[in-house]
């Protein structure tokens, strides 16, 4: 008999989601207005703290796009972007016909390398144009080197767009990811730590900014009795149904973070005795990861990645390659890149492991068995 599939990061409902969806049906607020949206935004605002404002949108990608629009990014502007990420981080730069400048990772957090970032800024300045934004990612839930990156952003007065799509619940020096950027985004796609089925939010500094973001997200319709539009808008607002799922999910967010961190402890024990495989972990006590996904680096001379991947898939366990860096993607061929290709090396020797908050003890035993086979 085929064993049940272990997924990489499946959705994990808390129990109250249907109640809030029912509430939307009962009141007939089915579309982009309603109580669930207000409550979901409020819950996130309370969670993140620092008096920040949250605008609920249709996806994390939409949130990044809106962030760039809010910062006035347009044709031929430079936008600095972490290369090691999911393609959704970078695509909105092209939506705006701007020019991405890719930056490599450092080895501690796998996010923006401060040295390479500064080289990229200097390059843009040498071309006569200051970059309009720096997109900093907290990949796999690991916060980027916040102090170092913010210092560079301040020094050159460039706004940060924080892509914390994967990092809700993670912290740097006890402050939440999603609160460091001039604008920050979080994703609630089905595979993220909590979900709204599909959705995202933009985190903003003021009520005025939130108002403008929602205006742009609803076709930039002006406050007149007829339909009046002076600039390009989008249909990017979250639906009241999705927000209902989000409300339910917010109630169990802390538990989900705890469960994902317990998965990490499990992997730490399970991999400890396997030579030539390294689990990616917090570099020091400043970093607190939600461990959205657990990832390993493998000594390819001993274990070809393909072999490990096959061992897992023979047992019906899903694993995935790490994100392939943008500077190595055909789509982004020809754009400049700063760094020594550390991200490319990580990509070639890494693997993502099942990390869902609903990973059972039975699943864990099956995964342990694979690592047992890899002991040499």
Ligand X SMILES: *Cc1c(COP(=O)(O)O)cnc(C)c1O
Q: Which residue lies nearer to ligand X by CB, 88 or 194?
A: 88
- Smallest distance, ligand X to C-beta of residue 81, A: 11
- Smallest distance, ligand X to C-beta of residue 140, A: 9
- Smallest distance, ligand X to C-beta of residue 111, A: 10
Q: Which residue lies nearer to ligand X by CB, 89 or 179?
A: 89
Q: Which residue lies nearer to ligand X by CB, 17 or 163?
A: 163
For residue 42, which of 246, 181, 190 has the smallest C-alpha distance? 246
* 3-state percent breakdown (helix, strand, coil) of the chain, nearest 5: 40, 15, 45
Q: CA 195 to CA 331: how far, in whole Å?
A: 28
Q: Which residue lies nearer to ligand X by CB, 145 or 274?
A: 145
Identify the three-state secondary structure at position 296: strand
Q: Which residue lies nearer to ligand X by CB, 197 or 219?
A: 197
Identify the three-state secondary structure at position 105: strand
Q: Residues in the site for ligand X, rule: CB under 6 A? A: 59-61, 85-86, 88-89, 137, 163, 165-166, 187, 189, 200
- Smallest distance, ligand X to C-beta of residue 371, A: 26
Q: What are the beta bridge partners of residue 176? A: 171
For residue 57, which of 250, 217, 220 has the smallest C-alpha distance? 217
- Smallest distance, ligand X to C-beta of residue 287, A: 17
Q: Could you identify the residue written with the tokens 């007939």?
A: 28
Q: Could you identify the residue written with the tokens 């600095």?
A: 80
Q: CA 57 to CA 30: how far, in whole Å?
A: 15
């Amino acid at each position: 008999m085929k064993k049940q599939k272990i997924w990489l990061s499946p959705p994990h409902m808390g129990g109250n989601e249907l109640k809030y969806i029912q509430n939307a049906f009962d009141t007939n607020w089915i579309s982009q207005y309603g109580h669930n949206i207000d409550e979901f935004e409020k819950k996130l605002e309370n969670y993140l703290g620092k008096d920040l404002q949250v605008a609920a949108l249709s996806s994390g990608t939409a949130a990044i796009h809106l962030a760039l629009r809010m910062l006035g990014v347009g044709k031929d502007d430079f936008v600095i972007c972490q290369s090691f990420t999911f393609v959704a981080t970078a695509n909105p730069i092209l939506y705006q016909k701007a020019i991405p400048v890719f930056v490599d990772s450092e080895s501690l957090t796998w996010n923006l390398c401060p040295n390479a970032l500064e080289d990229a800024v200097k390059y843009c300045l040498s071309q006569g144009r200051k970059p309009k934004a720096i997109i900093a990612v907290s990949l796999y839930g690991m916060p980027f080197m916040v102090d170092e990156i913010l210092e560079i952003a301040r020094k050159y007065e460039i706004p940060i767009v924080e892509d914390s799509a994967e990092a809700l619940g993670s912290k740097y020096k006890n402050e939440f990811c999603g609160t460091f950027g001039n604008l920050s985004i979080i994703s609630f796609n089905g595979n993220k730590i909590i979900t709204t089925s599909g959705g995202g939010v933009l985190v903003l500094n003021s009520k005025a900014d939130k108002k403008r973001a929602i205006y742009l997200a609803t076709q930039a319709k002006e406050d007149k009795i007829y339909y009046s539009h002076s600039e390009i808008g989008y249909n990017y607002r979250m639906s009241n149904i999705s927000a209902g799922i989000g409300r339910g999910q917010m109630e169990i967010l802390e538990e989900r973070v705890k469960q994902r961190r317990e998965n990490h402890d499990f992997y730490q024990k399970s991999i400890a005795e396997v030579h030539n495989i390294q689990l990616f972990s917090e570099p020091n006590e400043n970093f607190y990861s939600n461990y959205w996904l657990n990832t390993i680096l493998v000594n390819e001379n001993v274990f070809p990645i393909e072999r490990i991947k096959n061992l897992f898939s023979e047992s019906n366990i899903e694993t995935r390659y790490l994100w392939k860096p943008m500077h190595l993607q055909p789509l982004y061929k020809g754009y400049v890149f700063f760094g020594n290709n550390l991200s490319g090396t990580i990509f070639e020797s890494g693997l993502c492991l099942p990390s869902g908050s609903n990973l059972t003890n039975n699943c864990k035993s099956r995964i342990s068995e694979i690592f047992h086979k890899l002991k040499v």
